[in-house]
Chain A
Amino acid sequence: MAAEQNPILEEHIASDYKYGFVSDIDTEFAPLGLNEDIVRFISDKKNEPEWMLEYRLKAYRYWLTLEEPKHWAHLDYPKIDFQAISYYAAPKKKATVGSLDEVDPELLKTFEKLGISLEEQKRLVGVESKIAVDAVIDSVSVKTTFKEVLAEKGIIFCSFSEAVQDHPELVRQYMGSVVPYTDNYYAALNSAVFSDGSFCYIPKGVRCPMELSTYFRINSAGTGQFERTLIIADEGAYVSYLEGCTAPQRDENQLHAAVVEIIAQRDGEVKYSTVQNWYPGDKEGKGGIYNFVTKRGICIGANSKISWTQVETGSAITWKYPSVILKGDNSVGEFYSVAVTNNMQQADTGTKMIHLGRNTRSTIISKGISAGFSNNSYRGLVRIAKGAKNARNFSQCDSLLMGDKCGAHTFPYIEINDKTGIVEHEATTSKIGEDQIFYCNQRGIDTEKAIGLIVNGYCREVLNQLPMEFAVEAQKLLSVSLEGSVG
């Protein structure tokens, strides 16, 4: 960890948001606005089969019947003009798998700035500790690494568009089975206009030998990003999937409305980790990403497990509740979350654990950190359905406040319909102590670093859930996002 100290300090001094660059990539856009023609345009661009277009159109027509949801979450923002957004942007030079030479050199530079050199990834084939990466820029997945290595085990890891072409039976079987397009306003919108995303399928009895990872990047101005991720662990399969995301600094607000669906069959396990670092806007609250995301998993089979770990530091507004439906008997759902808000950021995040099967168990550990003028809410539902015998939940929701201008809120909902259910809920709210900071100062540690140390300690239970590479990145991010929040 010691080696990580200097870069942290440098980042503090150097910039507020280090991913705020714009890449000069030749991009193809859809015209602004949304109508059936745009939906057809997107589908056509992607050369999609008829059933896919039909699905999009159904979702679009349903979306038209809905009202934009307002004021139910603890969030405040102006009405979004959905006709002022471009729903499709793609780098013009289409990258083809297997040949990095054909990739736009600007794109490769972008990846290097993001710290994922695809060339290096490629060279690493055959070396231990590898991560397979799918990179999505604006709307299109540009490069998926390690595809061949994974294919040997029967693992499918590719862009969503490719999956539609190459594995239509799997996509048709599972897409919308956890988050139907009727689920909510943004899920309907996503189902109509989603551009790309990641698809991953782990066949029966296979343990995925490496972390699978997707990097999402919004690059172009005036665009929305609507990706879809579908992860399926078949019987007895295991996969650990990571997702990272960044965006350039812009004065305008950009919309990101993703849908993530996870399916775990009998004895299957999916571990999903995110470090979300979309551009949060400047100190006055200008610009930043609206991050309205629907993430849900279902433990269909007995003894299956889905675990969500999220570190949320970015976005102007975050609205997201990664949830688990515990259908299979003895299935397990977990939610580990760190949500940091600083300056004018707003976050309303949490989870839903829906217990349907017998002996199902869920754990919720949520750590909210608010600084500046930000507002940070935990919103969580634990529902134990009738007949879900001996279901158990443990929830712990902690809030840490820095300064006296920010807000922390907890909205726990508990519905127990079976008398054998046991639900425990613990909550704490604390302020970062001047005493703690002075104690660190007196040992030679400056205040910025002290805050980083204290906050990382506070979040340790959650950070411990992250894979190693991500944990280090997340620790740095936490320190950087809280820069200037005390004193």
Chain B
Amino acid sequence: MISINNLHASVEGKEILRGLNLEVKPGEVHAIMGPNGSGKSTLASVLAGREDYEVTQGTVSFNGKDLLDLSPEDRAREGLFLAFQYPVEIPGVSNINFLKTAINAIREYKGEGPMEAKDFLALVKEKQKLVELDGKLAGRSVNEGFSGGEKKRNEIFQMAMLEPKLAILDETDSGLDIDALRIVANGVNKLRSPERSFIVVTHYQRLLDYIVPDVVHVLWNGRIVKSGPKELALELEEKGYDWIKAEANTVEA
């Protein structure tokens, strides 16, 4: 699905990612954990193609294509989805119109015609249920006046609508109460399939109680310093990150 090799990236001249390697196969869920400032969100932004992030070294292959060579919109059209940590408000643009524009842009890229209105509405109805999203929210302006939980549910709703190959969840659990967390996680779980992969960026282990990962990685200092099975997340929750930092320093020295 995606293969990241020796990725280096900077923001405003400061190197944040320093030789990151990661391989995610179809159908796998990888969790990326790590202390504050380790580069988790930078990784998500670089993969999505945010302008302020400069890739200085390394390669990313996404389904055989050079991801770094693609514009942000083409990455999305190739099936990469980012659930934003801070979803953006677009006043006056209804969620429905936004999604229809997005879906049709993706279809156009694939050489398909626009989706029929009735098929689209049927899809909206079906996918809304996944995240228990109120029908009214779908008609409201994109994220405008949404609560934190509603915004995150809306991200998952959009993901369900766009049916990506690879979804990156950037701290989707932050700011969610336990009920909202469960709803979001349920939505994600229903979207798991042998063809779809996930990279779940999170600070806390609790999200991984609901979205059970195949692999857990620890990111520190711009690099993945430890990978392991799902139990690694529990260990981190218990022991914190210091032991991993120490271990990594030993290796480096």
Whether B114 lies near A443 (C-beta < 8 A) is no
User: Which residue of chain B has its CB nearest to the CB of A9?
Assistant: B108
Q: Shortest beta-carbon distance, B63 to chain A, in Å?
A: 16
Whether B189 sits at the interface, judged by CB under 8 Å, is no
A27-43 interface code vs B (CB 8 A; 1 in, 0 out): 00000000000000000
* In contact, A456 and B114 (Cβ under 8 angstroms): no
The residue in chain A whose Cβ has the minimal distance to the Cβ of B103 is: A444
Proximity string of chain B (82-112) to chain A, C-beta cutoff 8 Å, 1 when within and 0 when not: 1010011111110001111111111011000
Establish whether residues A2 and B162, one from each chain, have CB atoms under 8 Å apart when the complex forms.
no
**CB < 8 Å: which of B49, B87, B91, B141 contacts A439?**
B87
Question: Contacts of B73 on A, CB cut-off 8 Å?
Answer: 441-442, 444-447
* Shortest CB distance A341–B (Å): 20
CB contacts (< 8 Å) of A6 on chain B: these are: 108, 114
Report the minimum CB–CB distance from A396 to chain B (whole Å). Answer: 13
A99 within 8 A of B: no
Which chain B residue has the least Cβ–Cβ distance from A454?
Answer: B90
Query: Does any Cβ of B come within 8 Å of A1's Cβ?
Result: yes
Give which listed residue, A439, A444, A459, A460, contacts B88 with CB less than 8 A.
A439
Residues of chain B lying within 8 A (CB to CB) of residue A446: 71, 73, 105
User: A273: shortest Cβ distance to chain B, in Å?
Assistant: 19
Q: Contacts of A62 on B, CB cut-off 8 Å? A: none
Least Cβ–Cβ distance between B54 and chain A, in angstroms: 15
Interface size class of B (residues with CB under 8 A): 35 or more
A49 at the interface (CB under 8 A from B): no
> Given that A5-B114, A444-B77 are known contacts, is A439 also in contact with B90, CB under 8 Å in the complex?
yes
Query: Is A177 in contact with chain B by the CB < 8 A criterion?
Result: no
Q: Is A457 in contact with B92, judged by CB distance below 8 angstroms?
A: yes
Of chain A, the residue at the smallest CB distance from B107 is A444
Given A453-B90, A453-B98: A438 and B76 interface contact (C-beta under 8 Å): no
Q: Which of B84, B91, B105, B141 contacts A444 (CB 8 A)?
A: B105
Query: Does A420 count as interface, using CB distance less than 8 angstroms?
Result: no
Number of interface residues of A (CB under 8 A): 28
Q: State A453–B84 Cα separation when bound (angstroms).
A: 19
A456–B88 CB distance below 8 A: no
Complex Cα distance A447/B105, Å? 12
- Chain B residues lying within 8 Å of A434, measured Cβ to Cβ, are 51
Q: A434-B51, A443-B98 are in contact. Are A2 and B104 (CB under 8 A)?
A: yes
Whether the Cβ atoms of A438 and B51 lie closer than 8 Å is: yes
Q: Determine whether the beta carbon of A3 is less than 8 Å from that of B72.
A: no
Residue of A nearest to B144 (CB): A457
A-chain residues with CB within 8 Å of residue B77 when the two chains form the complex = 444
- Identify A1's interface contact among B84, B97, B103, B109, CB under 8 A: B97
Which residues in B have their C-beta under 8 angstroms from that of A445?
Answer: 73, 101-102, 105
A458 within 8 A of B: yes
B206 interfacial contact with A, CB 8 Å = no
Which residues of B are found within 8 Å of A447, using beta-carbon distances?
73
Report A-chain residues with C-beta under 8 Å of the C-beta of B109: 444
Contact, CB under 8 Å: B101 / A457: no
Name the residue on A nearest B88 (C-beta): A439
Interface residues of A in 220-240 (CB under 8 A from B): none
- Interface positions, chain A 233-281, Cβ under 8 Å from B, are none
Most buried by A among B73, B87, B97: B73
Q: Does B48 contact A (CB under 8 A)?
A: yes
Q: Which of B44-91 contact A (CB under 8 A)?
A: 48-51, 71-73, 75-77, 81-82, 84, 87-91
Q: How many angstroms between the C-alpha atoms of A404 and B34 in the bound complex?
A: 38
* CB–CB A449/B105 < 8 A: yes
Question: A2-B100, A444-B105 are contacts. A460–B92 as well, Cβ < 8 Å?
Answer: yes
**Per-position binary interface string of chain B over residues 135-164, scored 1 when its CB falls under 8 Å from any chain A CB and 0 otherwise:** 000000100000000000000001000100
Q: Contact between B93 and A443 (Cβ–Cβ < 8 Å)?
A: no
Are A441's CB and B72's CB within 8 A? Answer: yes
| Interface residue B117 (Cβ < 8 Å from any Cβ of A) | yes
Chain B nearest CB, measured from A439 CB (Å): 4
A165 within 8 A of B: no
In the complex, the answer to whether B117 meets A2 with C-beta atoms within 8 Å is: yes
Give the docked Cα–Cα distance between A5 and B103 (Å). 12
What would be 16 A-B contacts, judged by CB atoms less than 8 Å apart?
A5-B114, A435-B88, A436-B88, A438-B50, A438-B72, A439-B84, A440-B98, A440-B102, A443-B158, A444-B103, A444-B109, A446-B105, A453-B93, A453-B97, A457-B141, A461-B92
